[in-house]
């Protein structure tokens, strides 16, 4: 993560800059794929202000700390950011729900029988949501051709079930679920 520090209405100090970078780097392990962090340190009369913006995969996250002491304002800013990141992670966990344990997972053709540790699941699986629209097979073929992609997920308008269409070497492969 790239960290930039800007000083407003005050002299740039390498010690303060190093302190800020050390504190912000601790947040890196909690945030999801942070690309850059921008810290603005300013002073107005006797009040010090520290603002932090972290840009990553999700929306940018902002926090601010204000105090008579610059270091206390920085600590406030980092604490608020830490709280926001943790709340966001908890919200995502609640939204996704708990993953089923490996013992309860159905085993069949095409499924891995290897053991998955709970804490390592998020590093093994990357989730991506793809919108699926109701359409006929002919419409799906036309949509896939227009998109230029190699696959398309859609809801079959005849059966009402999720289907996939895969284009490979000039041929279409239609994938639809069926009970064993």
Summarize pLDDT for 14-29 with one digit per residue, the tens. Answer: 999 999 999 998 888 7
Residue 151 to residue 142: CA distance in whole angstroms: 12
pTM of the model: 0.52
Domains of the chain: residue spans and CATH: 2-96 (3.30.160.100), 129-175 (3.30.505.50)
pLDDT in 10s for each residue of the chain, 180 residues: 889 999 999 898 899 999 999 999 888 877 777 889 999 999 998 899 999 998 877 778 899 999 999 999 999 999 999 898 888 888 877 777 655 444 444 444 343 444 444 455 556 777 778 778 888 888 888 888 888 888 888 888 888 888 998 888 888 898 888 877
Position 45 scores a pLDDT of 87
By the 10 Å C-beta count (0-12 exposed, 13-18 middle, 19+ buried), 129 is classed as exposed
Position 113 scores a pLDDT of 40
Position 112 scores a pLDDT of 42
Position 72 scores a pLDDT of 94
């Amino acid at each position: 993560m790239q960290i930039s520090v800007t000083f407003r209405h005050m002299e740039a100090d390498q010690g303060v800059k190093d302190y800020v970078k050390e504190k912000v780097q601790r947040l890196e392990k909690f945030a999801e794929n942070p690309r850059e962090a921008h810290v603005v340190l300013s002073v107005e009369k006797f009040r010090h202000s520290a603002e932090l913006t972290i840009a990553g995969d999700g929306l940018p996250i902002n926090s601010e700390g204000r105090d008579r002491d610059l270091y206390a304002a920085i600590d406030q800013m980092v604490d608020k950011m830490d709280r926001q990141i943790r709340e966001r992670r908890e919200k995502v966990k609640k939204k996704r729900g708990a993953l089923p344990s490996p013992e309860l997972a159905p085993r069949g053709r095409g499924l891995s029988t290897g053991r998955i540790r709970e804490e390592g699941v998020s590093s093994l699986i990357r989730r991506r949501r793809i919108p699926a629209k109701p359409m006929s097979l002919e419409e799906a073929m036309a949509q896939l051709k227009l998109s230029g992609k190699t696959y398309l997920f859609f809801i079959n308008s005849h059966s009402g079930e999720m289907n996939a269409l895969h284009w490979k070497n000039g041929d279409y492969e239609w994938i639809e679920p069926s009970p064993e």
